[in-house]
Amino acid sequence: MRRNGSGIGMMLAICLRLSHQVSALPADFVRKDWVAGLHSPLAMRFAPDGRLFVTDQACKVWVMKDGIPLPAPFATVPCKTTRRESMMGVAFDPNFSVNGYVYLHYDYYDPVNGASGNRITRLTASTGNPDVADPKSETIILTGDPEGGDMGGAFFFGKDGMLYAGTGQPGSQDLTSLSGKVLRINAAAYPKIIPPDNPFVGKGSARPEIYAYGLREPWTGAVDTVTGNIAINDVDDGSPDWVYALKSGANYGYGGTSAAGPAWINLVHNGYTAIAGAAFYEADAFPSAYKGSYFFGDLEAAAGTIRRQTASGQTNVFETGLNVIQLDVGPDGNLYALTLDSTNNPSPPWTGRVQRISYLGSAGIASVPFEAQDSFGPDRSVVDPRNSGEVHFLLGAGPAHVASVKIYDRQGRLIESLDSQAPGKILTWNFSRKVPARGECFYRLQVSSQNGSRREKSGGILFMD
C-alpha cells in the first residue's frame, strides 16, 4: 500500500489485491495489474489496433484484449524452448491494418540437425480470425549466426519504415558476422531486404544487414515516433549497462578498443541486474512535461525500477518495486510494463504480469486555497464497500469556494458528482445507489473559486468487488 500526501492535506489510499510494493511514482500516478498469471513471458508489443501481443519462453505468441488473455495462442513457432531468451521480440508492419503482418525475432531450433540461432520471420493474421495467424504463413525473412553467447532482443520498426533487430555476441567486432550488432532491413521489400543506405553495403565481405556493431547484448530498444531517434539498451557483463543513441555505422566498443563515443546513459547496478524495457513517451495521457521522455527498466535482484530520462536529459527513478523486462506505451497513452513475479534471476518456468501506470490528476490548473480530507471510517485507511455501504469525504474549502467529489469507473465514465458550498461539510457517497462493475473506481477532489479558477487533485482508488 502506498500513502501519498501533499501540501493541500490530501491522503491517497490504494487498496489492491496484488500490488503491495512500496511505490515511488510521482503524485497522481497509479500502478495496477492489467493482466496477471502469465507463464514465462518474454516480450510484448501493442498492435496498432490496441491488442497486446505477448511472447513466452514456450515459443507461443498470445493476444490480450482489454486485459484478458485469449484462450488460444496467436501462433507457435519452432524456437528453442531450453533457451531462456527464446522468443525475443514481436513487431507489427507499418501497414499492419491492411496486410496483417506480424514479425517475430526468436532463437530457432531444428530438431532434425540440432541447428539453432537468430531468426526473423513474418506471420500473417488470419482473415477469418485475426486473433490467430494463418498456420501456413510463416516466412523466414533472415537467419542469423548459429547460437552463441547472448541473444540480443531489441526489435521494432523505425520511423523510416525499416525493421531493426539487436543480436548478441560473440562476433561483436566481426563485420562478417551478424552477432553483436543492430541489424536494419527493409522487410516490405522481401526478399530484397537490404536498404541501399545501410553503412556497410558494398564494403567488401561486411554483412550489408549491419547498421551498428560492437554490442554485447542489445536486449531492448525503442524509437521516438516524433523525432525518429532510436535508443538501444545494451546489457554488459558487469557494471554499468548502457543506453546508446543508435547511429549508422557506429562501433560501440564491445569486444575491442574502438568506441563510438560516450553512452547516452550509463546505468550502474548492484548484484544481478540488467537494463531492460524501453519506451519513448509521445502520448497525451501524462502531463505535457513527460513528452519526449525515455523510460527504461532496471531489473534488479532486490528491487527493480523504472527510470525516466526527461527531454532535457535528466535521469531519475520513476517507479520502484517491479522487475521490468519490457515497456510499451498503450493506445490509451498509459505506460505498460511486462514484469516478472520473481525478484531473482529466474530460470524457466516463471510467472509474470503486465502492469499499467496511469495518470489520474490534472496539470497546469491555477492554485487556489484548498484543504480536503477523505474519511474512510475508524482507521481512515481503507475503502472497501463490502464492509460499508458509504464513503465519507470531509471537505475543508473556504466559504468562497465550491468543493466537489467526482467518482469515475475504470473506463473513465462519471458515476457520481457530489457538490458542496458549505466549508467543512461531509459529503457522503452511498454505494447502494450506484454500484460500478467489478474492478475499481476512482475519485477526484475538486475545488472551484468564484473567479473561475479551479484546483483538481486525484484521490484514490476505491476497490469494488
Q: What is the CATH number of the domain that holds 418?
A: 2.60.40.4070
Q: What is the pTM of this model?
A: 0.74
Whole-angstrom CA distances from 196 to 39, 55, 205 are 41, 32, 16
In a domain, 160, yes or no: yes
Claim to verify: residue 253 and residue 377 sit in the same structural domain: no
Hey, which residues does 394 pair with through a beta bridge? 373, 426
Do the domain assignments include residue 367?
A: no
Question: Residue 393 falls within a domain, yes or no?
Answer: yes
Residue 262 lies in a domain: yes
Of 359, 384, 413, which residue constitutes the final position of a domain? 359
- Assess whether 335 and 391 both reside in one domain: no
Contact by Cβ (8 Å): 227, 264: no
Which class for 209: exposed (0-12), middle (13-18), buried (19 or more C-beta within 10 A)?
buried
Do residues 95 and 154 share a domain?
Answer: yes
pLDDT tens across 63-118, in order? 998 888 899 999 999 887 765 667 789 999 999 999 999 999 988 877 787 777 78
Same structural domain, 55 and 175 = yes
- State the CATH number of the domain containing residue 47: 2.120.10.30
Q: How many CB atoms lie within 10 A of CB 141?
A: 19
Contacts of 213 (CB under 8 A, 6+ apart): 172, 173, 175, 180, 181, 182, 250, 251, 252
What the block records as the C-alpha cell of 120 is 526473423
Same domain, 236 and 165: yes
Do 92 and 165 sit in the same domain of this protein?
yes
Do residues 455 and 365 touch, judged by C-beta distance below 8 A? Answer: yes
Same domain, 272 and 185: yes
Domain count, the chain: 2
Angle subtended at Cα 110 by Cα 179 and Cα 127, rounded to the nearest 5 degrees: 95
Question: Is residue 141 a contact partner of residue 185, using CB atoms and an 8 Å limit?
Answer: yes
364 lies in some domain: no
Most confident of 34-43, 104-113, 261-270, 439-448: 34-43
Q: Are residues 266 and 384 in the same domain?
A: no
Residue range of the domain that includes 43: 29-359
Residues 322 and 441 in one domain: no
Q: What is the pLDDT of residues 310-364, one digit of tens each?
A: 888 888 889 988 888 899 999 888 999 999 887 555 566 788 899 999 887 543 2
Pairwise CA distance, residues 191 & 377, whole Å: 67
Instruction: Write out the E strands in 195-270.
Output: 210-213, 218-223, 230-234, 241-245, 265-267
Q: Do residues 353 and 376 both lie within one domain? A: no
